[in-house]
Amino acid sequence: MKGMLRCTLLLFSFLTCSISYSQNLTGIWRGYFITENDDQYKFEIQISQKGSRVSGVSYSYLTTVFYGKATLTGNFNRLENRALITEIKTVEVRMSSFSSACIMKCNFQYATSGKEQFLEGTFTSKYEKNSLGGKKGEDCGSGRVYLRKVITSDFYVEPFLRNILRADSLKKVSPPVKKQITATKPPATNSTVKKKPVTETGKSAIKKSPPAVVRKTTSAPKPPTVNKSIPKTSTTKIEVLQKQKNDSIKKIIPPEVKETILKPSISVPDVLKSRENALVKTLTVHSPEITIKLYDNGVIDGDTISVYVDKKLVLSNKGLSAAPITLQLKMSEDNDEHEVTMVAENLGSIPPNTSLMIVEAGDQQYNVFISSSEQRNAVVKFRYQKSKQ
């Protein structure tokens, strides 16, 4: 029992260390926040994490010449993947005389998608000092905030981050030491084995022969055998021949053949066949009317996408920005599943191609972070389940 307990404690300690290492928030996070009035502002935070404590600075801005900079503090709960970050005070402001300075409190949920890291949540704010908008400490509005971890700043990297980022970049540049492995030749064999061709994704490409087309044929009926012998009755020869003719006509008419109508198969576009289609999320919705909004997540860097619904192109080469690309989806009990695929047409100036999908289905709302590349598409599946109410 003691040995088992010791192993359990060691395993727990190992997992805790792994979680602590992978969930470090130190770095630059950039994105935007949306107010209750649907006003959108850019938002960047540069933070350093020590243990569970977080400190750093934030930038709220429309441009790099119209912004407010504030110091911040907070904490990160690794077990719940939640971060509470509060701005302390404004240290630099560049704005018009009619604007007011407000300080924010953000409640974030930490999430990952592949190698991408995100902070998403809500914020509240209050006036830092008396202004035309309100008095110090009064409510200054609330809304939602979305951030993605990046490697560059729209302003400049704070001194407390420079050494950390420089050390991380050196680790990435240093090549790993390769162990020498003695290659052994396989035993010779007389049999010739044909290798299956390998695609770009590493999977064997199997050529599928087209389905055989079954043609329904109706064999021609044999002509009726005419009985040449005329029975010795009172019936005349003309009547007998007429009767035989009528019988033969009945036999020649073929039976009615019911044809089965096959639904036409959907031609899969090449971009969906040549790239990996990675499932990001499956959403169960209770409303038949669904609104999908796609934004550029983080900095607007020229990301362009195409969107396919059930392998059919519905949006082509659309640029992601702060304004949403809106898509309507209709569900029903007879048509209760749909598949939406995002295809990266380019990677923008900051790879990979990242976007934020906001799904509204009645009272339900989902936020899905999308990351796609020139090798992988992102797929979100929708399932309709009628509400029991």
Instruction: Return the HEC string of 13-50.
Output: HHHHHHHHHHCCCCEEEEEEEEECCCCEEEEEEEEEEE
* Top-confidence residue, 375 or 64: 375
Taking 90 as the threshold, does the pLDDT of residue 348 lie above it? no
Q: What is the pLDDT of residue 246?
A: 62
The pLDDT mean for the chain works out to 76
Residue 372 CB partners (closer than 8 Å, separation 6+):
305, 342, 343, 344, 352, 353, 378
User: Which residue range is the domain that position 133 belongs to?
Assistant: 22-169
Q: How far apart are CA 50 and CA 41, in angstroms?
A: 29
Integer Cα distance of 73 and 54 in angstroms: 6
The pLDDT of residue 29 is above 90: yes
111 — pLDDT class (breaks 50, 70, 90): confident
| Burial of residue 103 (number of CB atoms within 10 Å: 0-12, 13-18, 19+) | buried
Above 80 in pLDDT, residue 71?
A: yes
Q: How far apart are CA 247 and CA 226, in angstroms?
A: 10
Using DSSP's 3-state secondary structure scheme, residue 123 falls into: strand
pLDDT at 54 over 60: yes
Report residue 105's pLDDT band, with 50, 70 and 90 as the boundaries: very high
Q: Which of 16-20, 62-66, 228-232, 329-333 ranks highest by mean pLDDT?
A: 329-333
Q: Tell me, yes or no, whether 374 lies in a domain.
A: yes
Starting from the edge strand earliest in sequence, which strands make up the sheet with 353-361, in order?
A: 325-330, 289-296, 353-361, 364-372
Q: Of the segments 49-58, 189-198, 357-366, which one has the largest average pLDDT value?
A: 49-58
Residue 143 shares a structural domain with residue 279: no
**pLDDT band, residue 297 (cuts 50/70/90):** confident
Show the tokens assigned to 355.
């976007």
d(CA 314, CA 316): 7
pLDDT tens, position by position, 238-285: 565 566 656 655 555 555 544 444 445 567 888 898 899 999 999 999
Q: Is residue 238 part of a domain?
A: no
Q: Which of 123-127, 236-240, 343-347 has the highest mean pLDDT?
A: 123-127
CA distance 79 to 131: 40
Choose between 216 and 136: higher pLDDT: 136
For residues 345-374, give the mean pLDDT: 84
* pLDDT score recorded for residue 87: 96
Q: Which two tokens stand for residue 310?
A: 């059930």
CATH number of the CATH domain containing 302 = 2.60.40
pLDDT band at 108 (very low <50, low <70, confident <90, very high): very high
Number of domains in the chain: 2
- Inside any domain, residue 207: no
Say if 216 falls within a structural domain.
no
Per-residue confidence at 129, pLDDT binned at 50, 70, 90?
A: confident
Q: Is residue 328 over pLDDT 80? A: yes
Is the same domain home to 160 and 298?
A: no
The predicted structure's pLDDT at residue 237: 53
Amino acid letter for position 196: K
Strands 40-50 and 53-63 turn out to be antiparallel
Please work out, in degrees rounded to the nearest 5, the angle formed at the alpha carbon of residue 316 by the alpha carbons of 312 and 320. 125
Peptide bond into 223 cis (omega under 30): no
126 and 137 Cβ atoms separated by less than 8 Å: yes
Q: Which candidate, 165, 102, 110, places its Cα nearest to that of 134?
A: 102
| Higher pLDDT, residue 297 or 10 | 297
Sequence letter at residue 33: F
> Is pLDDT above 90 for 354?
no
CA 258 to chain centre: 45
Of residues 308 and 355, the one with the higher pLDDT is 308
- Looking at the structure, tell me whether residues 30 and 163 fall in a common domain: yes
- Of 54-68, 103-117, 139-153, 213-227, where does mean pLDDT reach its minimum? 213-227
Q: Quote the pLDDT of residue 10.
A: 39
Mark which of 138, 169, 200 sits at the end of a domain. 169
Q: Are strands 325-330 and 364-372 parallel, antiparallel or unpaired?
A: unpaired
Which H or E run contains 341? Answer: strand 337-344
Domain of residue 56, CATH code: 2.40.128.30
Instruction: Kindly tell me the burial class for residue 277, based on how many C-beta atoms sit within 10 Å of its own C-beta (0-12, 13-18, 19 or more).
Output: middle
Which of 122, 146, 169 is where one domain is finished?
A: 169
Mean pLDDT of 40-51: 93
**Structural domain contains residue 375:** yes
pLDDT for 190 equals 47
Among candidate residues 169, 203, 238, the one where a domain is terminated: 169
In a domain, 110, yes or no: yes
* Residue 135, both tokens: 């008095």
**pLDDT above 90: residue 170:** no
**Does the pLDDT of residue 25 top 90, yes or no?**
yes
Whether 178 is covered by a domain: the verdict is no
Residue 42 lies in a domain: yes
The answer to whether residue 9 scores a pLDDT higher than 50 is no
Asked whether the beta carbons of 229 and 237 are under 8 A apart, the reply is no
pLDDT (0 to 100) of residue 204: 43
Tell me: the pLDDT tens digits for 184-235? 455 454 444 444 444 444 444 444 444 444 444 444 455 555 454 444 444 4
